[in-house]
Amino acid sequence: MATQYFPLNSKQLALAQSENYWNKVLGRTKLSADVTQYLFQVIECPNSGKAYIVADDATYAYVYPRLSAADQRFLDQNLVPGSDPAVQACLAAIAAALPPT
């Protein structure tokens, strides 16, 4: 499986969903001693304000079997490939917004 993207309407929603999956994998909510509360990388699209959770192969392979059947179906229905036109437009907008090197 190649990297997949889970589209959401905002960075806030993407971060909340990433934290939700983190809690499900841990089997508990975040503790103050935890180093992170987010499981997946989140990118925000400067051209649309939308965001994506980035599900790379290794993280996805670890998380997916630990999710409920309902969560697995939800991901199966909503993940899009990197070739998706909206993902490509988002990645291009991120690259264009970077300062020149």
Sequence-distant (≥ 6) Cβ neighbours of residue 36 within 8 angstroms: 22
Give the pLDDT mean for 6-32.
84
| Other C-beta atoms lying within 10 Å of the C-beta of residue 63 | 19
For residue 33, pLDDT beyond 80: no
User: Residue 81's pLDDT is what?
Assistant: 94
Whole-structure pTM value: 0.81
Residue that the structure tokens 């992170």 belong to: 36
Q: Compute the distance between CA of residue 82 and CA of residue 89 in angstroms, rounded to an integer.
A: 10
Q: Please indicate whether residue 30 or residue 4 has the higher confidence score (pLDDT).
A: 4
| Number of domains observed in the structure of the chain | 1
**96, two tokens:** 């264009």
Strand, helix or coil at 48? Answer: coil
38 residue type, one letter: Y
Write out the residue range of the structural domain in which residue 84 sits: 4-97
